[in-house]
Chain A
Amino acid sequence: MATRRSSVGLFLRNPTGLAGLIILSLIIVAALLAPVLFPDDPLDMVTRPFVWPLSNGEFPLGSDSLGRDVLAGIIHGARVSVLIGVASTVIGLVIGTIIGASAGYFGGRTDDLLVRLIEIFQTFPPFLLIVVLVSIVEPSVITITLSIGIVSWPTIARLVRAEFRSLRERDFVLAAQGLGYSNARIVFLEILPNAMAPVIVTTSVMVATAILSEAALSFLGLGDPNLVSWGSMIGAGRDQLRTAWYLVALPGTALVLSVLSLNLLGDGLNDALNPRARGR
């Protein structure tokens, strides 16, 4: 318990990690409050087109070519990014942990086979595979989330496998086996909690990557057509890049801030949870 408290303390004394946590919290609050702050559909036309930012108090971030409120779009876009980022990471974590844990714990033939599977998946360029999967099925929040999740598991699987390989010979595992615990109980209740530190660090980077993938997809027009997302706003603003560049700059800034906050958080967690990297 003492070590856990000191990890939290270490994290809180890290200025960049803390900054990441604060920015991320603001984005999550914005995402949660979107229906309260902007109850109307952000895809509705509310004013004349091309109101510049800061020129009209009612629409502080201006309006786009169809007279839609940019601020409402960005706040609602946060919902899509956070939802898809978190949900697809959960999928990647579950698949990756099960495969990595089985490979690392059982070893031998199982390990050979699963490592081969991981290698095969890692030869596919991740974003290209997401594009192919999404275009085979119809793009919607669910199919996009599944596709990003399916593509992201190999990183976690490798990580969990490495941790399990080094942990499975430890005394506490031998003791658990000696007590006759089932494999599932040993894997999930004995080893997994001890293998979580590097997984937690990678999780924040995975959410960041997933948010970037979703943005790139909807930028290309392969996103959910019924929802406003930062990527689709950038894609729509691209046509007016020469005259109304703020339509690309503003949602892009929201995107960079959210990804940056997750990466700062990941770095902070890494410093706090990984004693070897301390002071580096």
Chain B
Amino acid sequence: MGRFVGTLRRTAWQSVPTVIAIVVIDFFLLRLAPGDAADALAAESGSATEETMTALRHHFGLDQPLLLQFLSYIENLAHFSLGFSPLYNMPVSRLIGERLPGSLLLMTTALVLALVVGITAGVVMSMFAGRLADRVLSVIALLFYSIPGFWIGLMLIVVFSVWLGWLPSGGQETIGAGLSGTGWFIDRVRHLILPATSLALFFIAIYARLVRASMLEVRDQDYVRTATAKGLRPRVITLRHMLWNALLPITTVAGMHVGAILGGAVVVETVFSWPGLGRLAFEAVLKRDFSVLLGILLLSSLMVIVVNMLVDLLQVWLDPRIAVR
């Protein structure tokens, strides 16, 4: 237990300066954006006099010196407030809070799908390394690696929604169906299949290639030869001895790719009208609502940091030697 606490404390301390830098960069990006909340509101209403603009700027504290604005931004952050979105007429944190569960559901499903399929494919490829099965799977993996999520999403809609009519083409659930219990659950799963698959393909390819490489790396090590000499069954050696050690690089890469999944979610959610953070980010761009956009950017960075801390803990569990470093 102690080694987990030690690792957690160390990584938490290391991330403090990173978080501060991100907050500063975020704030100044917000300043660089053309127009402020008052301009956005004026554009929304169609017309505004110089007096109302001044009053609005005063109301949002936009007429204060930059340093004061920065301090109040920090103070707001300390109260978990990401500012106010004049266009949505609600606090940014509430707006994000409404959309976060949808994104987390989509991203987690895609990640689990990618890990399961990717690791399985990688193990199969390494078992048949250099032979036909390996070659075919390698080419498929490279193809998955090259297909943009938004395009395969649209093509999946053509095949499975338009031609076959098996799966819904967008949204999170059937609106107004009044389903409950199992029916509701099945409805949600049906809506999840296409977007999660579109998002997962790229990561299936990454994990498959990585597992194959690290399985082959592990294959020649002494303890694997020992296990073979002991007369263990090949399946036990592959799964218990080799895969366990090959998982370490997977966790590192999976942690590194949280940001990429978030980026992919922006486009995939737009394709499937999925009510998540990605689509909110896109709507914010169209409406030029930079407080929302930068709130999402800040939250995403924090999510990346937290996930990487969890990955550090996971690695200590997988390989206790890491905690000593």
Contacts and interface: CB of A to CB of B under 8 A. Distances in A.
B5 to A, nearest CB: 23
Given A123-B304, A136-B34, A263-B145, A131 B266 contact: yes
Given A123-B301, A131-B281, A280-B213, A256 B146 contact: yes
Given A124-B259, A136-B29, A116 B18 contact: yes
Which of B129, B150, B256 has the largest number of chain A CB atoms within 10 A? B150
Interface stretch (A41-49, A188-196, A215-223): A215-223
Interface string B17-30: 11001100100010
B202 to A, nearest CB: 9
Contacts of A259: 146-148
Which of A212, A234, A238, A267 has the largest number of chain B CB atoms within 10 A? A212
Given A120-B22, A128-B296, A208 B146 contact: yes
A215 B150 CA distance: 10
B158 A128 contact: no
A124 B297 contact: yes
A129 B266 contact: no
A123 B18 contact: yes
Nearest to A267: B142
Interface in A265-280: 267, 277, 279-280
Interface stretch (A54-62, A68-76, A242-250): A242-250
B147 A256 contact: yes
B18 A120 contact: yes
B264 interface: yes
A260 B143 contact: yes
B158 A245 contact: yes
A52 interface: no
Interface residues of B, number: 52
Interface residues of A, number: 42
A132 B293 contact: yes
Interface string A127-141: 111011001100000
B158 A126 contact: no
Contacts of B158: 241, 245, 248-249
A72 to B, nearest CB: 20
A255 B148 contact: yes
Contacts of A252: 148, 151, 154-155
Contacts of A255: 148, 151
B288 interface: yes
Contact of B259 (A126, A136, A219, A234): A126
Contacts of B199: none
A122 interface: yes
A235 to B, nearest CB: 9
A176 to B, nearest CB: 33
Given A125-B304, A234-B150, A263-B146, A131 B285 contact: yes
A113 to B, nearest CB: 11
A219 B150 contact: yes
A16 interface: yes
Which of A120, A222, A263 has the largest number of chain B CB atoms within 10 A? A120
A234 B150 CA distance: 9
A123 B305 contact: yes
Interface in B232-287: 256, 258-260, 262-264, 266-267, 270-271, 281-282, 285-286
A131 B162 CA distance: 31
Interface of A is mostly: helix
Interface of B is mostly: helix
A154 to B, nearest CB: 11
Nearest to B152: A252
B300 A119 contact: no
B204 interface: no
A265 B148 CA distance: 18
Given A120-B18, A234-B150, A252-B151, A136 B33 contact: yes
A220 B270 contact: yes
A256 B142 CA distance: 11
B299 to A, nearest CB: 10
A135 B285 contact: yes
A125 B260 contact: yes
B270 A263 contact: no
B129 A280 contact: yes
Contacts of A238: 154, 271
B155 A120 contact: no
Contacts of A219: 150, 267
Nearest to A251: B151
B222 to A, nearest CB: 19
Contacts of A80: none
Contacts of A245: 155, 158, 162
B164 interface: no
A264 interface: yes
Nearest to B270: A220
Contacts of B260: 125-127
B146 A216 contact: no
Given A136-B33, A241-B154, 7 more contacts: A120-B18, A126-B259, A131-B293, A208-B146, A234-B151, A238-B154, A248-B151
Interface of A: 16, 116, 119-120, 122-129, 131-132, 135-136, 208, 212, 215-216, 219-222, 234, 238, 241-242, 245, 248-249, 252, 255-256, 259-260, 263-264, 267, 277, 279-280
Ranked 9 nearest A-B pairs via Cβ: A127-B263, A125-B259, A260-B146, A252-B151, A259-B146, A125-B262, A123-B301, A125-B263, A135-B285
